[in-house]
Amino acid sequence: MIEGKLKELQDKIIEMAFLVQSMIEKSIKGLMEKDKNLLLEVIEKEEKKVNDMEIEIDDMVTKFIALYHPEATYLRTSLMILKINNDLERMGDEAVNISESALFLIERPPVKPLIDIPRMAEITIQMLKDSITSFIEGKPELAKEVCIRDDIVDSLRDQIHRELLTYMMQDPSTIERAFHLIRIARSLERIADLSTNLCEDVIFIVKGKVIKHHKEDI
Amino acid sequence: MKKQIQKRIIKDKLFKIVIILLSFLSTFPLFFILFYLIKNGVFSLNFEFLINLPKPVGEKGGGIANAIVGTFILIIISSFLSIPIGICVGIYLSENKDKNLSKVINYFVDILQGIPSIVLGIIAYLWIVRPMRHFSALSGGVALAIMMLPVIIKSTEETLNLIPQSLKEAAFSLGAPYYKTILSIVLPAGISGITTGILISISRIAGETAPLLFTAFGNPYMNLNIFKPIESLPHLIYNYAKSPYPEWHQKAWAASFILILIVFTLNFISKLVVKRWKVRF
Amino acid sequence: MESEILRIENLNAYYFENHVLKDINLKIPKNKVTAIMGPSGCGKTTLIRCINRLHELSPGARVIGKVFLHNENIYEMEAMMVRKKIGMVFQKPNPFPTMSIYDNVLSGYHLNGIKLSKSEKDRIVEETLRKVGLWDEVKDSLHRKGTFLSGGQQQRLCIARAIALSPEILLMDEPTSALDPISAAKIEELILNLKENYTVVIVTHNLQQAARISDYTAFLFMGELVEFDKTEKIFTVPSDPRTENYLLGKFG
């Protein structure tokens, strides 16, 4: 009984995770290939889907806890699903931000060839994929390893900032476009951060240990 | 403090010893009876004794066949009369505990239980012997039946009271009518207690003499006709015991032994019945 | 709402002068599990005993009101007919002690004087015992007395006995409270399977059990029906403050 209901919850949150993942992939692809339709799809269709799913999952978890009084692993799983739900929705929001900025940028000449942003996107998307995998397969070691990669993403963002700053100082007409590029970098960095949250939640489910705020203990 | 505890321990031990002693003492009469029966009766026992009819004084041999058969016939008659009525009354009392009629019946059953057996014999004499104008096994059976009734009624009532209400409710909730519930579920569940009550009442009346004095009356011959007088073991024992003939005294001992054997057998059977048929809820 | 199978209208029940059930109006949905919960003495057992007309057998019992099975008022039908269509399972398992397992399952037919051929009997016994998950455990000892089974098995036997008559509704009065947790869990699984073919109404004082297995829940308090709704709603957002207090454990 209870296992069946929990599996329903897990399947639903995994569905949402894949949806968010595809939103991010599409927004980056739309930026790189200058595909307006792809970006509009993210903004107009997929965001609504993600928001509806968030409400649905919240409701499912509430009912699950009320009716089945889960303990131990089941309790941790259901509570973490609530948090993951939240974080996934935020990631969806960031993907929309990326798409909006991408829409602005593809209509105008590029400031510079895009190298670092796609690199950052690749790492970030891989981080999200791996954190979903660690949830599905219950692999805390994978989760731990993903958290470490966050530093790389952070330093990439800083690098993009510095580079764009020099462009802006040399040529003020690039400021508006640079601003959107920075926004995209910031969104990617936020997504990477939220993925590490996911990983911390997975570690809590499997091991019952809280590793937030002290990464050194990993 | 230690002295106090010592005193208590001693009192405790004393108490236990007294109880054990008194329990032993209470079995003495039984052992005495058995001892005398066996000592005096067993040697007159042989196959002819059980098969033959009594012979007049002075003649050798003779047996108690008519008394044994008579006792059995009386048991059959009185059971036939008392068991159906007794069980039905017992069922009524158990099912209708708070009706006024039940209270009245209970009261009367208690009184009946206390009536001396000779009085019951006189009543049977008035009811049956007088109108029929002669003694009969039937009248003896009636007197004994009245004696059996209170025991059967009480044991049936008490056995059925022990059956949990939920059993009846389970039957009702399957759509069973009342009579089916009682006959198919309740009675079978109480069969061991009811049968025990019947066997106890039989072993009680098997040894009764007084009610048979003016009813069954006694008969030196074998008789299978219930409308004629009939011999019975206790009656024969009484007659032989008060006679002046030593051979008859011997026979009385032997007959007593047989009677005790019958009673013991009935008791033994009733214990077996309880063991085999006892129903767990 | 789902199709209703039982409609209780203005039901009032009394024990001598005690007004035990006050104006109950309730619609029981078909092929679902409906739980009836409430503190001790709230009238929940009386309520189901009114549904199979067992209540009227108690001394001093009186019933006013109507209970419609499909569209017939059961109080205008033969009581014994009603009880064939509405079966009951009790708190303490009570298989008939003088009957074998085989005969216990068929006891409904026997007690109603319905004759069956041997092959029909065998079929009913096997089918019913399979439905309650007892067949594999007892198929080699069908002629042993029912009382030799464990508590959980006895209760499943009682359920088999009740469903052998193919009732439309199965009433259960705290069926697991006399059992150990493992047997109780098995019976809960069984109840979830039963609702495919039967409508189940279960009285329970165990909130968690009501939450786990029922689709609809009725909350009774001091003889009144306080709230009746889908279980997931009652346990998350109850409408009545009395229901909320009960769920929070503030009384009974």
| Domains, in order of start, for chain A | 2-217 (1.20.58.220)
Q: Quick count: other Cβ atoms within 10 Å of Cβ A168?
A: 18
Minimal CA separation from A136 to chain C, in Å? 26
Please name the member of C57, C81, C94 whose beta carbon is closest to the beta carbon of B170. Answer: C94
> What are the b/e assignments for C89-113, b being 16+ CB within 10 Å?
bbbbbbbbbbbbbbbbbbbbbbbbe
Q: CA gyration radius for chain A?
A: 19
- What gap in Å lies between CA B68 and CA B255, rounded to an integer? 9
Whether residues C211 and A66 touch (CB distance < 8 A) is answered with: yes
CB pair distance less than 8 Å for A62 and C211: no
Contact status, residue C229 vs residue C27, Cβ threshold 8 Å: no
Place of tokens 């009032």: C12
Mean pLDDT, to the nearest integer, of B160-164?
A: 91
Distance CA A175, CA A169 (A): 9
**Sheet of C224-230: strands edge to edge?**
C86-89, C169-173, C199-203, C33-37, C216-221, C224-230
Q: End-to-end distance of chain B based on CA atoms, in angstroms?
A: 50
pLDDT tens-digit readout, A77-96: 999 999 999 999 999 999 99
Question: Among candidates B230, B241, B37, B271, which has minimal Cα distance to B144?
Answer: B230
DSSP-assigned letters across all residues of C133-191: T-HHHHTT-TTSBGGGS-HHHHHHHHHHHHHTT--SEEEEESTTTTS-HHHHHHHHHHH
Does residue A215 register a pLDDT over 70?
no
How many residues are listed for chain A in this entry? 218
- Cβ contact, residue pair C81, B177, below 8 Å: no
Cβ–Cβ under 8 Å, residues A134 and A202: yes
User: In this predicted model, what pLDDT tens digit does every residue of B31-81 receive, in sequence order?
Assistant: 888 888 888 877 777 777 777 787 777 677 777 888 888 898 999 999 999
Residue B127 pLDDT > 60: yes
Residue B204: is its pLDDT beyond 90? no
Which CATH code, of 3.40.50.300, 3.20.20.70, 3.55.50.30, 3.40.640.10, is assigned to C4-247? 3.40.50.300
Q: What is the pLDDT of residue C252?
A: 59
Using the structure block, give the residue that is written with the tokens 């039946």: B145
Distance from CA of C162 to the nearest CA of B (A): 7
pLDDT tens digit string along A82-132? 999 999 999 999 999 999 999 999 999 988 888 899 999 999 999 999 999
DSSP C82: H
All residues of chain C having their beta carbon less than 8 Å from the beta carbon of residue A3 are none
- Interface check C100 vs B, CB under 8 A: no
Does residue A214 surpass a pLDDT of 70? no
Q: Tokens standing for A14?
A: 């995994």
Task: Read off the pLDDT of each residue in B228-257 and give the average, rounded to a whole number.
Answer: 86
CA distance B172 to chain C (A): 8
Residue B272 has pLDDT above 90, yes or no: no
What's the pLDDT at B50? 77
State whether B175 and C165 contact (CB < 8 Å): yes
Interface of C with A (CB under 8 A): 188-189, 192, 208, 211-213, 231-232, 235-236
Which residue in the block uniquely carries the two structure tokens 């029981």?
C28
Mutate to test the interface with A, among C33, C207, C217, C232 (most CBs of A within 10 A): C232
How much is the average pLDDT of C217-236? Answer: 94
- Residue A102 burial (CB count, 10 A): 28
Contacts of C87 in chain B (CB under 8 A): 173-174
Residue B184 CA to residue C113 CA, distance in Å, equals 11
For A48-66, what is each residue's pLDDT tens digit?
Answer: 999 999 999 999 999 999 9
Judge: C90–B170 Cβ closer than 8 Å, yes or no. Answer: yes
